[in-house]
Amino acid sequence: QQQVKQSPQSLIVQKGGISIINCAYENTAFDYFPWYQQFPGKGPALLIAIRPDVSEKKEGRFTISFNKSAKQFSLHIMDSQPGDSATYFCAASRAGGYNKLIFGAGTRLAVHP
């Protein structure tokens, strides 16, 4: 059972554009929603995370928007750069189980110069 659905599977954006990746979850017990960035040959690295008590969180060019009623959250990358080209994973976990992340399928982002 896929508990976190991520779209799109791949995304091509021009340099300077906005990259948007969407995720939807099913389990209302989830209360921690991180986004991870993974470069080829590397492990995933935490990019930004949000909890359901806020609707938006911004860190630099990266913003998470969270819609608790719709059980959806999204990652916006503003002013996308070629160095942002990577695979992005959304994830979710339950209280007390923050090491047991349920990951989305991933989005391969390519930012063209």
Partner 1 sequence: KAGVTQTPRYLIKTRGQQVTLSCSPISGHRSVSWYQQTPGQGLQFLFEYFSETQRNKGNFPGRFSGRQFSNSRSEMNVSTLELGDSALYLCASRESAGGTTGELFFGEGSRLTVL
Instruction: Please give the residue ranges that form the binding site for partner 1 (CB under 8 A).
Output: 32, 34, 36, 41-46, 51, 89, 91, 95-106
Kindly list the strands in the beta sheet with 62-67, ordered across the sheet, starting from the edge strand earlier in the chain.
Answer: 4-7, 19-25, 72-77, 62-67, 56-59
The CA–CA distances, whole Å, from 107 to 7, 24, 90, 95 equal 7, 14, 9, 26
Q: Which residue, 5 or 71, is less far from partner 1 as judged by CB? A: 5
Q: Which residue, 96 or 113, is less far from partner 1 as judged by CB? A: 96
CB of 18 to partner 1, least distance (A): 25
CB of 111 to partner 1, least distance (A): 22
CB 11 within 8 A of CB 3: no
CB of 102 to partner 1, least distance (A): 7
CB of 68 to partner 1, least distance (A): 17
CB 4 within 8 A of CB 106: no
Q: Which residue, 18 or 95, is less far from partner 1 as judged by CB? A: 95
Q: DSSP secondary-structure letter at 82? A: G
Q: Which residue, 25 or 36, is less far from partner 1 as judged by CB? A: 36
